């Protein structure tokens, strides 16, 4: 794994001070946002879980504010290798910060969704569920991809019909890749742009509730 990127754990926002042995949901923001961006979603999520909202390890080009997970401009923009590097940094953070959690799920938006799916591909046994909102699965092959066809990890993929941020080719790729490599719950929301709707959050809550209910007692 690349050691180039490091997640600043001091920037992580936690929903619970006493979080040991609780199922953990990790929130991954989009480009130009930060660890505060998705934290407001906690009120829409199931009870009985801890939530950690992490800050991406990069800063976008000035004057864009916030943080990012990988470049989306220049020769390396949206490259699968860059997404993998970010996912490896996330896995290193999870190994330490979530060592006591009985199960870990990921919820990512846009860039964060791509990183969440890539982390699942790198270490499918590490995650109980993945929620990918307005994002995509990176192109190319990874060593564990073939095993995913048998493991069928639980994935929720939500997107809007009016999302003009994610390139259509990546949406088409994800629409073919996810059904082949996961137990997919897919939803397309009419009129939704590159954002998250309340209808989508209701579906996410139901999906994550099933994740919790299926955990060993």
153 lies in a domain? Answer: yes
pLDDT computed for residue 3 by the predictor: 53
Helix axes 111-122, 80-97, angle to 10 degrees: 70
Rounded (5°) CA angle 71-186-164: 45
Q: Which of 47, 49, 50, 69 is nearest to 60 (CA)?
A: 69
Q: Given the residues 53, 103, 110, 134, select the one marked as catalytic.
A: 110
Is 194 a residue of the active site? yes
What residue numbers bound the domain in which 198 lies? Answer: 9-213
Token pair belonging to 93: 């953070």
Strand partners, 184: 155
Token pair belonging to 181: 């490599």
| pTM as predicted | 0.95
pLDDT computed for residue 1 by the predictor: 41
1 lies in a domain? Answer: no
4 lies in a domain? Answer: no
Q: Which of 71, 66, 56, 70 is nearest to 26 (CA)?
A: 56
Number of compact structural domains in the chain? 1
Q: Given the residues 53, 163, 181, 182, select the one marked as catalytic.
A: 163
Is 197 a residue of the active site? no
110 lies in a domain? Answer: yes
pLDDT computed for residue 166 by the predictor: 94
How far is C-alpha 44 from the chain's CA centre? 17
pLDDT computed for residue 216 by the predictor: 86
3 lies in a domain? Answer: no
Looking up tokens 């800063």 gives 59
Is 145 a residue of the active site? no
pLDDT computed for residue 118 by the predictor: 98
CATH code (residue 130)? 3.40.50.1820
- Ranges of the chain with pLDDT below 70: 1-3, 18-19, 74-77
Q: Given the residues 15, 79, 173, 194, select the one marked as catalytic.
A: 194
């Amino acid at each position: 794994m690349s050691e180039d990127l490091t997640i600043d754990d001091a920037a992580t926002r936690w929903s619970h001070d006493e979080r040991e042995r609780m199922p953990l949901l990790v929130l991954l923001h989009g480009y130009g946002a930060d660890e505060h961006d998705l934290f407001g979603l906690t009120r829409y999520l199931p009870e009985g879980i801890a939530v950690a909202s992490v800050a991406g390890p990069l800063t976008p080009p000035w004057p864009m504010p916030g943080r990012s997970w990988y470049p989306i401009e220049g020769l390396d923009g949206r490259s699968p290798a860059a997404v993998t590097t970010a996912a490896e940094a996330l896995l290193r953070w999870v190994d330490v910060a979530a060592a006591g959690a009985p199960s870990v799920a990921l919820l990512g938006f846009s860039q964060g969704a791509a990183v969440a799916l890539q982390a699942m591909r790198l270490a499918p046994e590490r995650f109980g569920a993945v929620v990918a909102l307005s994002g995509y699965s990176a192109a190319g092959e990874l060593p564990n991809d073939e095993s995913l066809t048998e493991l069928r990890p639980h994935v929720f993929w939500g997107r809007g019909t009016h999302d003009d941020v994610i390139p259509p080719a990546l949406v088409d790729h994800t629409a073919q890749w996810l059904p082949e490599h996961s137990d997919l719950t897919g939803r397309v929301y009419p009129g939704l742009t590159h954002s998250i709707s309340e209808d989508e959050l209701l579906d996410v809550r139901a999906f994550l509730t099933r994740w919790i209910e299926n955990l060993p007692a």
